[in-house]
């Protein structure tokens, strides 16, 4: 497969058109790539087909037609089934010298297993999880962390650039996922810091919008404060990134940490706090809904 360039664009397949996958796929299409899509949900397929994409009925049908196949899927079980174990799995259908890309957050061990299988079929496998949330996916400004063979990364780079603002090559297979897990530590514990600060401000009778504006301008400023803190102040708990997906990431993270005896006290605490939202059926809210747990602990609800 030659280097990907905008003068000779290869067919790209995209499987998984949820909150993140749909806008990511749209950016690929808008960059001029022939796009083939597959998803369990009908509306995003229809929307992308209307923009010029084609639909494949199965992952295998899609994979057989594409030089780059991308998935953006919610959990390890789905990733394993779509790529490898399902009746119409993608990897067995891919041609030699093509590129498979997993852009969800997947356990590093499964990533390495998929990469090994892909290599046995002369297919390059890249783990390329993202950060930036729904806003980054919609605006095409995601940060993408890529693990796998460097030559495959370089060949696929223009496709990544259609979806993201900062593309980082991390190293061998699995390293992209490990970098994403490190990112999720900062995301989770940072969300707790924002929620606690705003809970304190609320209890003290401070205006929450003014609090967010003030804290964002100083040493406490962060992406979470500016974006999710503002949503808390406005009473908006709708997802850019759902609690249930962060919980999945934290479960992978804590499992990895146990295997290396790495103490992650803050991450473990945040995981337990979010368990409350899972028990109350609120795990499809955005991660800023952590404020609700703290309010309940403080007797405000």
Cα–Cα dist 35/9, whole Å: 10
Q: Where are the domains of the chain?
A: 12-172, 179-297
Instruction: Write the pLDDT tens digit of every residue in 243-273.
Output: 999 999 999 999 999 999 999 999 999 999 9
N-terminal to C-terminal alpha carbon distance within the chain? 59
Q: Which residues are catalytic?
A: 180
Residue 5 is predicted with a pLDDT of 42
Determine the CATH number of domain 179-297.
Answer: 1.10.1040.10
Instruction: Write the pLDDT tens digit of every residue in 135-193.
Output: 999 999 999 999 999 999 999 999 999 999 999 999 999 999 999 999 999 999 999 99
In percent, the amount of the chain with pLDDT more than 90 equals 95
Mean pLDDT (whole number) for 108-132: 98
pTM, full prediction: 0.93
Question: Is a pLDDT exceeding 60 seen at residue 3?
Answer: no
Instruction: Write the pLDDT tens digit of every residue in 15-63.
Output: 999 999 999 999 999 999 999 999 999 999 999 999 999 999 999 999 9
Q: Which CATH superfamily is domain 12-172 in?
A: NAD(P)-binding Rossmann-like Domain (3.40.50.720)
């Amino acid at each position: 497969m030659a280097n990907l360039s905008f003068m000779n664009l290869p067919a790209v397949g995209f499987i998984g058109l949820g909150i993140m996958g749909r806008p990511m796929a749209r950016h690929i299409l808008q960059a001029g790539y022939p796009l083939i899509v597959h998803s369990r949900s009908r509306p995003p397929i229809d929307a992308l087909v209307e923009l010029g994409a084609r639909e494949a009925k199965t992952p295998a049908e899609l994979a057989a037609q594409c030089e780059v196949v991308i998935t953006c899927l919610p959990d390890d079980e789905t990733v394993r089934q779509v790529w490898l174990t399902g009746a119409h799995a993608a990897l067995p259908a891919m041609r030699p010298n093509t590129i498979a890309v997993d852009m969800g957050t997947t356990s590093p061990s499964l990533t390495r297993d998929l990469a090994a299988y892909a290599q046995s079929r002369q297919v390059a496998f890249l783990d390329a999880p993202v950060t930036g949330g729904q806003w980054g996916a919609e605006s095409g400004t995601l940060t993408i962390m890529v693990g796998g063979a460097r030559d495959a990364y370089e060949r696929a780079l223009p496709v990544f650039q259609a979806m993201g603002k900062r593309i980082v090559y991390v190293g061998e297979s699995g390293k992209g996922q490990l970098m994403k897990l490190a990112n999720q530590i900062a995301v989770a514990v940072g969300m707790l810091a924002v929620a606690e600060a705003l809970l304190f401000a609320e209890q003290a009778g401070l205006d929450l919008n003014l609090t967010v504006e003030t804290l964002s301008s100083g040493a406490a400023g962060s992406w979470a404060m500016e974006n999710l803190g503002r949503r808390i102040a406005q009473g908006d708990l709708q997802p850019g990134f759902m609690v249930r997906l962060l919980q999945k990431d934290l479960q992978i993270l804590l499992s990895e940490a146990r295997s290396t005896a790495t103490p992650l006290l803050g991450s473990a605490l945040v995981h337990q706090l979010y368990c409350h939202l899972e028990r109350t059926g609120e795990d499809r809210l955005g991660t800023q809904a952590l404020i609700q747990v703290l309010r309940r602990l403080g007797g405000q609800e």
